[in-house]
């Protein structure tokens, strides 16, 4: 059973408070992007509307660093959610485990417009112990603008103290 009530809660809503300040996805970071990720079948999805100042090299295109950030944070949330599902964790009594990025590769395939919402999708390729490999895509108006390959590593218990 999927412990995340994804009809009403995003993955990031389950992060413990001390892990909810990430600039990209922390619900408690008022300056941040506060991205929200949800299950969509066996993939995950996040929708994000760039701000007008999130421009890239061209003024009508989206900033590449933001694309990398969205893929990174969405993959982190997906890794957490997937691990919880795989381990059968009861989120009423156990917080969502947090992951850190070990490796992030982004291929920029097509210019991404700044004036439409983008969709980031991720799929878990493999879970092995504390490691989760994911593939991600970022789409705008149905076009795949970027692809990502991400390796996430679960924060060990002793590192949390």
Nearer to a copy of itself, 89 or 152 (CB): 152
| Two structure tokens written together for 78 | 């997906």
Residue 1 C-beta: closest distance to a copy of itself, Å: 26
- 131 near a copy of itself, judged by CB under 8 A: no
Cα separations in angstroms, 14 against 4, 90, 92, 95, 96: 8, 11, 10, 7, 6
- 56 near a copy of itself, judged by CB under 8 A: yes
**Which residue matches tokens 């970022």?**
138
Phi then psi dihedrals of residue 110, to 5 deg: -150, 145
Query: Using the rule CB under 8 A, which residue among 41, 59, 129, 142 binds a copy of itself?
Result: 59
Half-sphere exposure of 92 (CA within 13 A, CB side): 2
Phi then psi dihedrals of residue 142, to 5 deg: 80, -5
Query: Using the rule CB under 8 A, which residue among 1, 41, 42, 57 binds a copy of itself?
Result: 57
- 88 near a copy of itself, judged by CB under 8 A: no
Q: Which residues bind a copy of itself (CB under 8 A)?
A: 18-19, 21-24, 26, 29-32, 51, 53-59, 63-66, 68-70, 72-73, 76, 98-108, 111, 155
């Amino acid at each position: 059973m999927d412990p995340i009530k994804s009809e009403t809660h995003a993955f990031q809503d389950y992060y413990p408070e001390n892990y909810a300040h990430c600039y990209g996805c922390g619900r408690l970071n008022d300056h941040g992007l506060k991205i929200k990720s949800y299950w969509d079948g066996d993939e995950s999805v996040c929708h994000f509307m760039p701000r007008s100042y999130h421009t890239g090299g061209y003024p009508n295109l989206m900033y590449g660093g933001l694309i990398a950030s969205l893929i990174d944070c969405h993959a982190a949330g997906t890794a957490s959610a997937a691990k919880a599902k795989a381990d059968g964790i009861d989120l009423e009594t156990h917080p969502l485990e947090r992951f850190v990025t070990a490796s992030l590769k982004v291929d920029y395939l097509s210019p991404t417009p700044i004036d439409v919402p983008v969709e980031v999708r991720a799929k878990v390729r493999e879970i092995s112990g504390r490691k989760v490999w994911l593939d991600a895509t970022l789409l705008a108006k149905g076009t795949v603008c970027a692809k990502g390959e991400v390796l996430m590593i679960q924060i060990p218990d002793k590192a949390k103290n």
